[in-house]
C-alpha cells in the first residue's frame, strides 16, 4: 500500500511525502515534458518536418490541386496549429474564370481584373461551410493571398482551417483534425491535454494537482536535508561503490540531455559547479563521517 507514514515531526513523513508525491507526479510531469517538446524551437521543428515527410503530419495531398507559395502558414497567419505550421499557403487566382464572365461571385474591377469578394462575403462563405463559431479570419496579403478561417477549440475534433480564393470565394483547402496524419493527431491531442483543454475541468485539476505535488516534493526534500544535515558541510552523498551504477546514471543523463537540450545544458552547468565548488569537500561529507559527528 502506498501511503505517507508518521507525522511532520518525523523524518520518515517527509521521506514518504517526497517518494509518494514523486511516484504520481513523475508520470504526469514526464507526459508534460514530452508533450511540451513540439513547442520547442529545434526539437519541434525537426519533429514537424519528419512527420510531414513520412506522411504522418499535415495532409500534403490536400495542397496538390491548388497553387501554393513558398511561405509557410506560421509566417502568414496570426494563429496556426502545430501540425500546419510548415504547410504551404495556397494562392488565389490560380484557376480559370477570373474576370467578367467567370464563376459566380467573381466581378471585374475598374481595371478589368478580378475584384476580391470582400470580408463580409468571405465570412458568409465560412459560416456556410459550418466552421465552428469563434474562428479567426486572416485577410489576404497581396494579390495572390487568401482569406483564411481557423479555429482551435477545446475539442480537438472541432479544429479546422479553411483557405478561400480571395476572388471567387472557392475553398482551396479545407482541413479538419481528422485529416491529419496519425503522428500529428497524437501530438495535437497531447498539446490539448498539456494545456488543460481536452477533458475540461478534470484536465485542469489534474495539472494543478501535479504542480502542487512537485512543490511538496521540493519542500519535503529541503526538510529532509535540514533534519539530517551534518555540521560544517552540505552533506552531499558520495559516488556509488559499484561503477556499473555510475555508468547507468551517466547513460540516463546523456539520453535526457540529448532528448531535452535545456535539461542537458542545466546538467552540464551543475556538473561544472560540482567540480569547481563542491567536489573538494565531498570526502568530508560521507554519511559515515556525518553520523560519527
C-alpha cell at 266: 542545466
Longest dimension (CA), the chain: 98
**pLDDT (0 to 100) of residue 1:** 56
Q: What is the mean pLDDT of residues 132-160?
A: 92
Q: Categorize the per-residue pLDDT at 287 as very low, low, confident or very high, splitting at 50, 70 and 90.
A: very low
Residues 72 and 81: their CA atoms lie apart, in Å, by: 12
Q: Is the pLDDT score of 97 beyond 50?
A: no
Q: Is the pLDDT of residue 101 over 60?
A: no
Q: Is the pLDDT of residue 280 over 90?
A: no
Predicted confidence at residue 16, as pLDDT, reads 84
- The residue-averaged pLDDT of 254-265 equals 85
Q: Model confidence over 14-62: pLDDT tens digits?
A: 888 888 888 888 889 889 988 988 888 778 888 888 998 888 999 989 9
pLDDT tens digits, 225-238: 888 877 777 776 67
Pairwise CA distance, residues 79 & 145, whole Å:
16
Q: pLDDT band at residue 202, thresholds of 50, 70 and 90?
A: very high
- Identify the pLDDT of residue 221: 87
Alpha-carbon separation of residue 292 from 103, 224, 279, 285, 289 (angstroms): 92, 19, 21, 11, 5
In this predicted structure, the answer to whether residue 113 has a pLDDT above a threshold of 80 is: no
Averaged confidence pLDDT in the chain: 83
The pLDDT value recorded for residue 278 is: 63
Write down the pTM of the prediction.
0.70
Amino acid at each position: 500500500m502506498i501511503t505517507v507514514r508518521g507525522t511532520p515531526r518525523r523524518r520518515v513523513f517527509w521521506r514518504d511525502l517526497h517518494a509518494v508525491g514523486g511516484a504520481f507526479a513523475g508520470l504526469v510531469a514526464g507526459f508534460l515534458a514530452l508533450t511540451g517538446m513540439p513547442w520547442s524551437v529545434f526539437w519541434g521543428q525537426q519533429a514537424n518536418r519528419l512527420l510531414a515527410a513520412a506522411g504522418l503530419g499535415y495532409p500534403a495531398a490536400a495542397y496538390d490541386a491548388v497553387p501554393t507559395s513558398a511561405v509557410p502558414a506560421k509566417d502568414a497567419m496570426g494563429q496556426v496549429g502545430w501540425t500546419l505550421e510548415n504547410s504551404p499557403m495556397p494562392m488565389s487566382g490560380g484557376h480559370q474564370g477570373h474576370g467578367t464572365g467567370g464563376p459566380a461571385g467573381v466581378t471585374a474591377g475598374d481595371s478589368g481584373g478580378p475584384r476580391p469578394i470582400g470580408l463580409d462575403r468571405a465570412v458568409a462563405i465560412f459560416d456556410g461551410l459550418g466552421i465552428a463559431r469563434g474562428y479567426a479570419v486572416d485577410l489576404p496579403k497581396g494579390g495572390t493571398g487568401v482569406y483564411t478561417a481557423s479555429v482551435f477549440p477545446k475539442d480537438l475534433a472541432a479544429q479546422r482551417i479553411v483557405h478561400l480564393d480571395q476572388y471567387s470565394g472557392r475553398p482551396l483547402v479545407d482541413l479538419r483534425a481528422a485529416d491529419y496524419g496519425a503522428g500529428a493527431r497524437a501530438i495535437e491531442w497531447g498539446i490539448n491535454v498539456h494545456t488543460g483543454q481536452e477533458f475540461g475541468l478534470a484536465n485542469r485539476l489534474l495539472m494543478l494537482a501535479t504542480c502542487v505535488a512537485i512543490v511538496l516534493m521540493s519542500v519535503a526534500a529541503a526538510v529532509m536535508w535540514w533534519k539530517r544535515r551534518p555540521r560544517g558541510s552540505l552533506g552531499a552523498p558520495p559516488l556509488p561503490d559499484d561503477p556499473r551504477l555510475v555508468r547507468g546514471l551517466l547513460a540516463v543523463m546523456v539520453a535526457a540531455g540529448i532528448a531535452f537540450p535545456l535539461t542537458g545544458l542545466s546538467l552540464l552547468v551543475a556538473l561544472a559547479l560540482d567540480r569547481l565548488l563542491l567536489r573538494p569537500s565531498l570526502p568530508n561529507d560521507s554519511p559515515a563521517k556525518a553520523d560519527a559527528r
